[in-house]
Amino acid sequence: MTDETETTDAVVIERLLDAPRALVWRLWTDGAEFAAWYGPPGAVIPVAELDVRVGGRRRVCMEVTTPNGPMRMWFGGEHLTVRPPERLVYTEEITDETGVPTADSHRTEVHVDLHDAGPGTTRMVMTHVGVRPGSPGATGWQMAFDKLADHLVR
């Protein structure tokens, strides 16, 4: 189930996942698990440092292959809300590899809400404030969530 809600300042994506809420929480909060599904197909996540506590920092590197060779993109942020296994809120912005925001960076917020939806099933609602529906960022989330669903099947 996928539902992208049209708003002017946020993309909202909902997925019904065949996995218990505790497992889906771990996919968002464990660096190795996050690296296994995050990003579009073909992307590799060589760094996923997640200090999952209020005030804890995030540092993620996504590597993609381009016609000019590999390109690395760094994302950093801070955890604002951590309520296992139901709600995770963090900031995100493009940074350099040391975590310093780039000149063209802007801070966004990612809200992840996990709801029990029956035995072994989770309704995941992700809201990315500051990313417009239909943008490359919104498309990237859809592709990442397809990877997340495939990861759960394995």
Question: Which CATH number characterizes residue 13's domain?
Answer: 3.30.530.20
Number of domains into which the chain is organized: 1
Q: Higher pLDDT residue, 119 or 7?
A: 119
Q: Which tens digits make up the pLDDT trace of 120-130?
A: 999 999 999 99
pLDDT above 90 coverage of the chain, percent: 92
pLDDT at residue number 112: 98
- Separation between Cα atoms, residue 13 and residue 126, nearest integer Å: 5
pLDDT given at position 32: 98
Please give the distance of CA 104 from its chain centroid, rounded to a whole number.
20
- For residue 8, the model assigns a pLDDT of 64
Mean pLDDT of the region 55-76? 95
Average pLDDT, stretch 31-60?
Answer: 97
What average pLDDT does the structure give for the chain?
Answer: 93
What is this structure's pTM? Answer: 0.91
Q: With a cut of 90, say whether residue 132 has pLDDT above it.
A: yes
CA dihedral for 127, 132, 134, 139, sign (positive or negative):
negative
Q: Which residue range is the domain that position 129 belongs to?
A: 3-153
